A and B are shown apart, each in its own frame.
Chain A
């Protein structure tokens, strides 16, 4: 069984640009979660999508947004990038009704 995949592996953007990160969940999983992990720090919850709907949102500004597609893959968009957005962005997925989350390898976003 394939695990959670994310693309791209690395992304370099300049301040003010937009970034788009992608995630494909494990087959059969309907929920996708996005987390931000700044260097050496913990996991900050960003967004939770399930069955195409946004179900929960962390304490991040509106320029962090996303969506979930009918095949349950998801996209995270970060607009008006700021230097402090530089971090590892992790996606996780879970099966219906369960909170056991399985993480992807992450996308390393660098904002210069």
Chain B
């Protein structure tokens, strides 16, 4: 089955700096890679996703890159703000058939004002 590794487990950055979270996956058939943000006491929320037919996707201050050859993908947050503080989960799945979504172990991001 799919295995997703996520690093780092914790990350502290100064407000205004950039944050990068990296994930690797094992199943070359995976073709869908979402990122979720979970604030304390709240539900995970889908913030951005990428499919294997593109290498990069941006949405305002967040971007995701995908390297299919190396089987890794990353989340980039620029100009970080205190409200970016949360736990971020990456995930991987194959949208063909009933392949479950496998989540990474999460990264706790702290943005220091």
Mark A residues whose CB is within 8 Å of B.
33, 41-43, 45, 48, 50, 55-56, 58, 90, 97-106
Contacts and interface: CB of A to CB of B under 8 A. Distances in A.
Contacts of A56: 98-100
Contacts of A33: 100-101
A97 B102 contact: no
B95 to A, nearest CB: 5
B85 interface: no
Given A99-B34, A103-B45, A105-B43, A50 B98 contact: yes
Q: Is the interface of A mostly helix, strand, loop or mixed?
A: loop
Interface of B: 32, 34, 36, 42-46, 49, 89, 93, 95, 98-106
A42 B32 contact: no
9 contacts: A42-B89, A42-B105, A42-B106, A43-B103, A50-B98, A55-B98, A102-B46, A103-B36, A103-B44
Nearest to B32: A99
A45 B102 contact: yes
A103 B106 CA distance: 16
B32 A43 contact: no
B44 A43 contact: yes
Contact of A42 (B34, B43, B103): B103
Nearest to A94: B101
Nearest to A103: B43
Contact of A106 (B43, B89, B105): B43
B8 to A, nearest CB: 14
Contact of B104 (A42, A55, A104): A42
B96 to A, nearest CB: 9
A58 B101 CA distance: 11
Contacts of A90: 43-44
Nearest to B42: A105
Sort A-B residue pairs by CB-CB distance and give the 6 closest, nearest first.
Answer: A55-B98, A103-B43, A43-B103, A56-B100, A42-B105, A99-B93
